[in-house]
Structure 1
Amino acid sequence: MSKPDEIPALSYILEPALVASLLTAGCLINKRRSTDIVQAHNVLGVSLFSPSMDNSWNWKEMKFFFWIVKVPNNEKFRMSLFSRFLGMFPFIMEVWYWLLTYWIYQIARAIQALTMGNDFRVLAERHARQIISIQEFLKIDIELGLQRFVLDKPWLLTFFNKTYAMVHIPATIAFMVYSYRYFSPGIFQSTRRTLVLCNCLAFIVFSSWPCMPPRLLPFEEFGYIDTLHTGKAASIWTTNKFQNQLAAFPSLHFGYSFVIGLSLFVYSPHRVVRAISLLYPLLILLVIMATANHYLLDAVGGFFVTVVAYRINRLVLNLRPIEEWLFWLLRTERPMDKVQFDSVIRGGHIITATHRDMSERPLMLGSPE
């Protein structure tokens, strides 16, 4: 793994600044006009300028897995400063979701990395050898040949190293900003939930079935080179002593790129974006193998994780009661749901519970009618 002194000092500023800039741009691009907020509340029969001053304890019912639970009705906080701020910049909610998902995932991986012993590493190497044996049997062991091809072309090697180290997180955030603005609300929400569940499912898999990446296998026996770190091309995202290095299977780099590429191909309203969208997962597939970070079967595993994730992504909706309690603690009303807000603004009508269910269909099952 790269050491801190192998990374340019500016990377510690520029890389987080890029992420922060993308998140900020998402908030500004998706800003709601105050006139639209007033119109939406008026259509719903709620006056924004005459909120209820009733401070009594009001409840509403929500589904929490198999149960119906009561949660506080936060409508009385509608005119609070923070509520109005969130109403104008609803993408802040997506920033919060992303940060929450990212840090929970990273902390869980760090805890695992600190607690695993030598037996875990031995098991991970055994699983890696099993994957190589399967690929050799299927005649799909192409990683080493691909890496040697790339090593002969320094410019391509540099491009692949930089792509692996620095593209994954910014590209995902840029996709969230773009899809929030241009996808139908229901498709955006199901896509976002799919990405969240990809993290959860992948963590379960590599926690119970650790797998050593090619770059960590004995060089004398296998010949793989850790191009990313020996070439000093790593970023601050890949230089972390608390990172679990034995989590090659499944590949979230490919899983995320597959969801992003396919979603853009199917749902983007821009022809140019659709035309180049599928090149992204193809590029990431080549990159993760050429840099010896993943096997081809890792990408296959990443694909199946995304398939399962989108099929069950509505499970995430069961966490809404927890979210409502958090907003109650903050004395804030959750900004109007994008599905409802867009429906009200564009159609001037209130969507029913049936329409809301239709708008929350999983990815690839079609747009809301």
Structure 2
Amino acid sequence: MSKPEEIPALSYILEPALVASLLTAGCLINRRKATDIVQAHNVAGNLSPTSSSSQSDDSWNWKEMKFFFWTIKVPSTQRFRMNISSRFLNMFPFLMEVWYWLLTYWIYQIARAIQALTMGSDLRVLAERHAKQIVAIEKFLYLDIELGLQHFVMKRAWLLTFFNKTYAMVHIPATIAFMAYSYKYFSPLIFQSTRRTLVLCNCLAFIVFSSWPCMPPRLLPYEEFGYIDTLHTGKAASIWTTNKFQNQLAAFPSLHFGYSFVIGLSLFIYSPHKLMRTVSLFYPLLILLVIMATANHYILDAVGGFFVTIVAHRLNRLTLNLRPIEEWFFWMLRSERPMDKVQFDSIIQSDSFITATHRDMSQRPLMATIPE
């Protein structure tokens, strides 16, 4: 594990600044026009089956939502529409994705940290045993290419440096950039399905490596296996890889590859830009080579990451059952949840949406009472 003193002082500023810049850029390029927001709410209000009398009689304006096997009531947040927080979120809906990503990231990291702090020496022995089983299976299937790949890369200093830096610094920024891009250019349903798939990948992977810990190649005895921890011995340190509370016995499955597979395949299928589709599939291939050459994962870890993404994609709609919790959260914050991207895009793309009144409206209506 890298030590803090191995990290350049500027990294503590530049690396978080890069992530913050990408998140900010995502919010700006996905900004909604105030006139579109007002008109979309007007159209949605006209389509709503709820009568105005029922809204005035019941300020809570209860609505029913599914929560796994139950149907429960949650209060509508529409009454908070003109609060400044609601208006800000409506204009910058990608902030919701920032919140989702941060919540997922920190829950995942905290869970791994707790696991790392509570594991004993017997767990390390078990993880090494599982790693040796993977090595044996790979040898039986003639898939044990990691060591040969590492030797090839280590003979080329420029390639080793590139692979080390890619592993240490690309995963998180690339994921954020993908989220911002896909929010802008994918259809709303595809974006939401992809985002839910990535979230569920974390949950499934945590279950697997919690119940079946596996030591990465770099931690196996060098005398017996010959793997070198190129990332840390080469001092290719990053603040993302310097964490004394990190669970290092979580090689299987590889989320590095799982995420890259989802990102690459999604861009290849759904990107409207030819150049993006052309280069997209090189990303998972690059990550696959990087995780093996740096001795952080076995090729079977990548196979495990692939199957985790398949299962996550098939089950991603399960996360929709958490929507009532989200609604209650916004109600407690006294903020309206931004209009769903599916509904918003379907309204503004409809033929009847653009009118002369809409074209002439300024930014001011968003700051005043919503017209009837």
Q: Could you tell me the TM-score, scaled by structure 2's length?
A: 0.91
Letter in 1 for 2:20: A
Q: Distance in 2 between matches of 1:270 and 1:156?
A: 29
**Higher relative contact order by CA 8 Å / sep ≥ 6: 1 or 2?**
2
Query: Contact 1:253 / 1:284 at 8 angstroms: preserved in 2?
Result: yes
- How many Å separate the matches in 2 of 1:56 and 1:186? 31
Alpha carbons of structure 1 residues 124 and 86: separation in structure 2 relative to 1, 3 Å: same
1:201 deviation in Å?
Answer: 0.2
Give the Cα–Cα distance (whole angstroms) in 1 for the partners of residues 109 and 68 of structure 2: 26
Please, which of 286, 297, 300 is the counterpart of residue 297 of structure 1? 300
Superimposed CA distance per residue, residues 7-58 of structure 1 (whole angstroms, 9 cap, x where no aligned partner): 11111110000000000000000000001111111212369xx9x7777332
User: 1:75-115 CA distances to partner (integer Å, 9 max, x unpaired)?
Assistant: 11111111111000000000000000000000000000000
CA distance in 2, matches of 1:72, 1:130: 53
Alpha-carbon distance in 1 for matches of 2:319, 2:197:
9
Q: Distance in 2 between matches of 1:143 and 1:53?
A: 67
Give the equivalent residue in structure 2 for 1:201. 204
Q: Aligned to 1:221, what secondary structure does the other structure show?
A: helix
Is the 1:197–1:309 Cα contact (8 Å) retained in structure 2? Answer: yes
Q: Does 1:132 align with 2:135?
A: yes
- 1:307 maps to 310
Pairwise mapping of residues 1-369 of structure 1 onto structure 2 (< 5 A)? 1-45=1-45, 56-348=59-351
- What one-letter code is carried by the residue in structure 2 that aligns with 1:7? I
Q: Which amino acid aligns with 1:126?
A: R
Q: Give the AA of the match of 1:134.
A: I
Number of the residue aligned with 1:364: none
RMSD: 1.5
Aligned in 2, Cα 1:182/1:220: closer, same or farther, shift over 3 Å? same
1:69 match: secondary structure = strand
Contact 1:343 1:349 in 2 (8 A): no
Q: Runs (4+) of structure 1 moved beyond 2 Å?
A: 52-58
How far apart, in 1, do the equivalents of 2:125 and 2:7 lie? 30
Shift of 1:186: 0.2
- One-letter code aligned to 2:22: L
Q: Output the CA distance in 1 between the equivalents of 2:282 and 2:166.
A: 13
Q: How many residues align?
A: 347
- The alpha-carbon deviation at position 279 of structure 1 amounts to 0.1
How big is each residue's C-alpha offset from its partner over 1:174-213, in whole Å with a ceiling of 9 and x where there is no partner?
0000000000000000000000000000000000000000
Distance 1:247 1:72 in 2: 41
SS in structure 1 of the partner of residue 349 of structure 2: helix
Taking the aligned partners of 2:135 and 2:238, their CA distance within structure 1 comes to: 28
Q: Which structure is larger by alpha-carbon Rg, 1 or 2? A: 2
Unaligned runs of 5+ in 2: 354-372
TM-score with structure 1 setting the length? 0.92
Aligned mates of 1:140, 1:179 — CA distance in 2: 34
In the alignment, the residues of structure 2 paired with residue 343 and residue 99 of structure 1 have an alpha-carbon distance, to the nearest angstrom, of 28
Tell me the distance in 1 between the aligned counterparts of 2:329 and 2:230.
44
